Every structure is written in C-alpha cells, then in structure tokens.
Chains A and B, each alone.
Chain A
Amino acid sequence: NAGVTQTPKFRVLKTGQSMTLLCAQDMNHEYMYWYRQDPGMGLRLIHYSVGEGTTAKGEVPDGYNVSRLKKQNFLLGLESAAPSQTSVYFCASSYGTLAKNIQYFGAGTRLSVL
C-alpha cells in the first residue's frame, strides 16, 4: 500500500542551488497537489494539477515550478533556493470532482535552505 510517496525525505540546500522534489502516487488519481507547511500557518497550496500535462498556481507559487508529464508523478522544482523556502513540503492526490473527495498525503519532505 504505497499510496503517495515523496522523495527525498530530507534535504539541505545552499542559497541559489536548485532541486526537484518528486511525488509519485499509485492510486490512479487525476488530481495532485503540492503544499508547504510552516509553523503557525497550516498548509498552503503551492501548485496543483487536475490531470496529466496540466498545472496551475495555488496560493504561494512564487519561486517554484511544477510538471506533470505522467499521471502518477508530480514534480516540484526550486530553480534558485532561498532561505524563505525552508519548510516542510507535502504532496497530495485525489480522484477529482466529487463532494466527498479525500486528499491523500505523502509523508513530507523537510527542506532547509542555508
């Protein structure tokens, strides 16, 4: 029962470095999401995708890019990391447009930018 898998689990970057976070789901979900979690702020949506080949901006998209080349994968990229991007990143997926549509989350990636 893999569900939603995020890699890596931890990463330390220097300011200006780039990296890609990978999210993979094996539930054949149409929708996928990237959130960031910061202390006292809950989860905020960065980008999302409603299907293969489509992406859209969420609440806090600046400094991030995403790609959804395959239905099961959703990549989050940081082209030039900044200390403000130190956070815990969560990927989630769901079936799509149903009222009771549960989002299933990965275990998170803890990123520190020095």
Chain B
Amino acid sequence: AQKITQTQPGMFVQEKEAVTLDCTYDTSDQSYGLFWYKQPSSGEMIFLIYQGSYDEQNATEGRYSLNFQKARKSANLVISASQLGDSAMYFCAMREAAAYNTDKLIFGTGTRLQVFP
C-alpha cells in the first residue's frame, strides 16, 4: 500500500493566486514527521516545510503553509501568492517513528505545478 499518496499529477495556477497541493499518508505510528520538497527544472531537491505529528499548529514558512489534518491523515501544501518561480515538481515525504534511528524518508510520486501569468 502506498504510504504517501499525491493524487494530482499536475496543477495549474495563475500568478498571485493561492494553490493547494494534496498529500495523504498512511501510518500506524503516533509519532512521525511530514516534509515537502520542491524540485525545479534544474533538478535539485529543495526542502520547503516540516510538520511533526505532535505539532499543535500548522507549519508555516513564508508563502508556504502546511494544512495538517491528522484525523484525515492529510498534509496539504498551500502556496500563497504564487510566483512564476514556483513552477516545479513538489514532493511530499514522511518519516515514521520506526525510522527515526535511520532517518529514512518515504516519498510520494510528486505533483507538477505550473504557474502562468
């Protein structure tokens, strides 16, 4: 079974609008961490934002925020005021408690976001 599911292969958004990229996860652990990475066309993987399972508030980093709904096991990335430079692949990833001693991440298949003027 997929541990990380990103159901949107591609998304379009107009510049300056907000966009939500979906991520659902599957784990039986109570303690886990959720990450979002950005991969622009140049290829590198850039860390964006982190949410811990015990964090009471949704994580925010500048224009990025994470809509964490624990009961629904979803960790959607919200990008506000989209910019042309936001066009990229976005990956959701999870680290489960059992993996804390190895720091292994499980990645979703990604969502390609395209921002148009």
Chain A interface (Cβ < 8 Å from any Cβ of B):
31, 33, 40-45, 48, 50, 56, 58, 88, 90, 92, 94, 96-97, 99-108, 110
Residues on the A chain within 8 Å of B47, using CB: 102-104
Residues on the B chain within 8 Å of A101, using CB: 33, 95, 103
Closest B residue to A49 by beta carbon equals B102
Known A-B contacts A103-B103, A105-B45; A40 and B33 likewise in contact (beta carbons under 8 Å)? no
Residues on the B chain within 8 Å of A94, using CB: 103
- Summed over the interface, the residue pairs from A and B with CB atoms below 8 Å come to a total of 66
B45, A42: Cβ atoms closer than 8 Å: no
B52, A58: Cβ atoms closer than 8 Å: no
Give the docked Cα–Cα distance between A109 and B7 (Å).
27
A107, B43: Cβ atoms closer than 8 Å: yes
Residues on the A chain within 8 Å of B46, using CB: 105
Give the docked Cα–Cα distance between A48 and B46 (Å).
20
Give the docked Cα–Cα distance between A106 and B101 (Å).
22
Known A-B contacts A103-B47, A108-B43, A108-B44; A97 and B91 likewise in contact (beta carbons under 8 Å)? no
Which residues 1-59 of B sit at the A interface, judged by CB distance below 8 A?
A: 4, 31, 33, 35, 37, 42-47, 50, 52
B100 interface residue (CB < 8 Å to A): yes
Give the docked Cα–Cα distance between A100 and B103 (Å).
10
Q: Which of B50, B101, B105 has the most CB of A within 10 A?
A: B105
B107 interface residue (CB < 8 Å to A): yes
A99, B33: Cβ atoms closer than 8 Å: yes
Residues on the B chain within 8 Å of A92, using CB: 45
B110, A107: Cβ atoms closer than 8 Å: no
Residues on the A chain within 8 Å of B33, using CB: 99-101
Residues on the B chain within 8 Å of A48, using CB: 102-104
B109, A41: Cβ atoms closer than 8 Å: yes
Closest B residue to A107 by beta carbon equals B44
